[in-house]
Amino acid sequence: MKKLQLVSAMSLALGTLVFSGMASAAVVGESSNTNYVKVGTATVNGGPHTSGGAGIGVNATGIDKLVNFQGLTAYGAKDAQDVYTLNFPYTGSPTSHDNLGVFNFAQVGTSDVWVGEWSAYGTSGDSTRTVYYAGANADTSVPTSGTATYTVVGINNYDGTAASLLNGTLTADFAAATLTGSMANTNGLTVDIGTATINSDASVTGSDATASISVIEVASAGDVSAQFYNGQADLAGLVDFAGTEYDTAFGGSKD
């Protein structure tokens, strides 16, 4: 059973706050299972965290207590693939963080846009595994002509190696209102988003994504959810299949 659950767009109540030179600071995101992960506008102030901007909450500390992704990066450096992996507890982490689980997440370009996965234990087949995306300065409209390509990475059961990170290209055809393309890793996994619809509010929805291993299809009818940000400069989304094994978060910037 697919678990896709939409998190509604939230505008920050800060009036004059400006991101990337635009007046809108709307945070839009989605989680494949909001029993474990919620995304939206960060609400926590304390330690490395400040409220506002794209945030995430997990059930271990209160699912509705969202901390900003930028603050989370203070707990560890990104690796050679530009992915942050946080595996709690670890030496030096606060005792209040002992049961926070395992995070793998990446920033889209230099924007406050993030994609990743979370699980309680970080083990193969972990049923709590949840993928997500969240970003500030979400677009509210898209062009009705032209095309754009996005070089994207995909996070699916990331293990810290280049072989597990998916890479690919997605093509936005604004005249046809479609987003197509795929991403793959050298372990043999390919995730194709099918033909998703670019909606007039700059969101993307679809229901015919597939996953294959060494060209053998292993999952189909995956739900696609994505969002354009920063005047279509950035794109982030997820694919949600039945089960959790092939669920994938993805994001990238316009070429």
- pLDDT digits 0-9 by tens, 13-22: 323 233 333 3
Residue 125 CA to residue 42 CA, distance in Å, equals: 29
User: What pTM was computed for the model?
Assistant: 0.88
pLDDT along the chain (255 residues), means of 10: 44 31 69 96 90 92 91 91 82 50 95 96 90 98 98 97 98 98 98 98 98 97 98 98 97 98
pLDDT in the model for residue 76: 84
CATH of the domain at 243: 2.40.160.90
In three-state secondary structure terms, 40 is: strand
**Prior bond to 89 cis, omega within 30?**
yes
- The C-alpha R_g of the chain, in whole angstroms, comes to 17
Are the C-beta atoms of 232 and 254 separated by less than 8 Å?
Answer: yes
Domain carrying residue 223: 5-254
pLDDT in the model for residue 88: 67
CB-based contacts of 110, cutoff 8 Å, min separation 6: none
- Say how many domains are in the chain: 1
How many CB atoms neighbour CB 221 within 10 A?
12
Kindly write down the DSSP assignment for every residue of 121-163, as one continuous string.
S--TT-TT-EEEEEESSB-S---SS-EEEEEEEEESS--SSGG
pLDDT in the model for residue 92: 45
Q: Tell me, what DSSP letter sits at residue 49?
A: B
In three-state secondary structure terms, 75 is: helix
- pLDDT digits 0-9 by tens, 76-117: 889 999 999 998 644 444 444 446 889 999 999 999 999 999
Residue 35 CA to residue 13 CA, distance in Å, equals: 26
Are the C-beta atoms of 39 and 21 separated by less than 8 Å?
Answer: no
pLDDT in the model for residue 48: 87
Burial of 90 (0-12, 13-18, 19+ CB in 10 A): exposed
| Termini Cα distance of the chain | 35
